[in-house]
Amino acid sequence: MFNDLQLARAVALRHDLHRHPELKFEERRTSALLAERLEALGYHVTRGIADTGVMAELDTGRPGPVIALRADMDALPIVEANQRAWRSEHEGRMHACGHDGHTAALMLAAEAIIERRDSLGGHLKLLFQPAEEGGNGAEKMVQAGVLDSPRVDAIFGYHNRPGFETGMLFVKPGSAMGGNDTWKVTIRGRSGHAAMPHLALDPIYIGACVVQQVQGLVGRHKSPLRAGVITVASFHAGDAANVIPGTAELLVNIRSDSSEARDALAGNLEALVGGICSAHGAEFAIEHLQHVPPLVNDAEWSQRVLDIAREYGVSPRIEKIDYMPTMGAEDFAFYLQQVPGCFFFVGNGEHGAYLHNEHYDFNDDILPVAAGTFVALCESLMKAR
């Protein structure tokens, strides 16, 4: 499907992006580089979507579906520990989640797809999205109208997955990745002397009660047939050994596999905190910092991805799995809330570092599998009639 020169260009692009990582909404070098290459290939390119996003379109002029393919571009604020030739040149930033590989794979697909334009019908949109890492870039791309004019019929994306065989292509129909909600809980008590706690109202003690009781939402409010987890990721209060502070702040992270699980967990958080604070006479405030919905793959499109991948032989190992491979969040879920589609996975190798780790690196050997799946989807779904 790809010749040696195309593969070499894709690897070179991946290494270039890895050397020059850019954080969420700062992907200016990346987006400019991609836009120039896409324009040179013959795509109609729109820049500056959701600040730094890029959309490349191919209108075949023939009837057919509107298909969208997506890659994310942003890096993470992590100091890279690898010493490879393509190590990050910007201390404190690295591509620790493989978005450099996701982008390179979609660019490789773009090159192969444009060569097949005379055999395609319909309209293709290639979405290079900013700020997947905590910036809800997908939501902002949707708000900017990338799924409209013309309206997208189906959308596809992928993520590399460490811990799975290199090049293994797999799909989880239904709930495939967790939703993510982060809340800031502020408990306001009354400061006082550590020797006289009865004259104070201790927010640390009240916060500790919250830390313990919040797990009851997982154990007794969420169905055991649904997945979900609550983590108190930060607890800050006071800085002196002989003082009971007046306030405590907690960051509560909730992961859920469905709207039902989210309602059981996030939907009851305020009531639980309020009940505990009320019992002790404390005041509280809750601020919702971020929401990413659970990623739910359309069952029919999931099966079509598997069937097309097998038909085109994009990988020697193609499987449908019946379990969630991760509770990690993925803002591709915002697209799937609007149009049907499928987010598939490609194994990054069984022994390398996991995502968001200082030793992580994208496996270049999986580029033709990911890109080949994109090309196969276009060839099959957009075949000129």
Residues 183-196 have pLDDT tens digits of 999 999 999 999 99
Q: What is the pLDDT of residues 45-55, one digit of tens each?
A: 999 999 999 99
161 & 191 share domain: no
Range 97-108 average pLDDT: 98
Range 246-261 average pLDDT: 97
304 & 327 share domain: yes
209 & 269 share domain: yes
Query: Which tokens sit at 72?
Result: 């994310």
Query: Is 17 in a helix, a strand, or coil?
Result: helix
Domain tally, the chain = 2
Give binding residues for Mn(2+) as ranges.
Answer: 97, 99, 133, 159, 356
272 & 331 share domain: no
Query: With 90 as the cut, is the pLDDT of residue 178 above it?
Result: yes
Q: What is the pLDDT of residues 119-141, one digit of tens each?
A: 999 999 999 999 999 999 999 99
Check: CB of residue 117 under 8 Å from CB of residue 60.
Answer: yes
Query: With 90 as the cut, is the pLDDT of residue 228 above it?
Result: yes
Query: Which tokens sit at 209?
Result: 């009660």
Paired sense of beta strands 53-59 and 123-129, if any: antiparallel
134 & 61 share domain: yes
Of the residues 258, 292, 326, the one at which a domain ends:
292
Phi, psi of 372 (to 5 degrees): -65, -35
**What confidence category does residue 385 fall into, taking pLDDT thresholds of 50, 70 and 90?**
confident
189 & 223 share domain: yes
pTM score of the predicted model: 0.94
What pLDDT is attached to residue 84? 96
Domain of 279?
179-292
What pLDDT is attached to residue 113? 98
Query: Which tokens sit at 81?
Result: 């520990």
Of the residues 273, 292, 311, the one at which a domain ends:
292
Give binding residues as ranges.
Answer: 97, 99, 133, 159, 356
Contacts for 204 with CB less than 8 Å, ≥ 6 apart = 237, 238, 244, 245, 248
17 & 129 share domain: yes
31 & 161 share domain: yes
C-alpha dist (Å) from residue 383 to 2, 19, 380: 19, 38, 6
What pLDDT is attached to residue 114? 98
Read off the CATH number of the domain in which 87 is found: 3.40.630.10
Read off the CATH number of the domain in which 194 is found: 3.30.70.360
What pLDDT is attached to residue 155? 98
List the beta strands (DSSP E) in the chain: 44-49, 53-59, 66-72, 123-129, 154-161, 169-171, 174-177, 179-188, 192-193, 228-236, 243-244, 247-256, 283-292, 295-297, 318-320, 341-347
What pLDDT is attached to residue 234? 98
Q: What is the pLDDT of residues 199-212, one digit of tens each?
A: 999 999 999 999 99
Of the residues 263, 292, 321, the one at which a domain ends:
292
Average pLDDT, the chain: 97
C-alpha dist (Å) from residue 311 to 142, 289, 380: 31, 44, 9
Query: Is 374 in a helix, a strand, or coil?
Result: helix
Using only C-alpha atoms, the chain has a radius of gyration, in whole angstroms, of 23
Paired sense of beta strands 228-236 and 247-256, if any: antiparallel
CB atoms within 10 A of CB 300: 12
Range 254-273 average pLDDT: 96
160 & 211 share domain: no
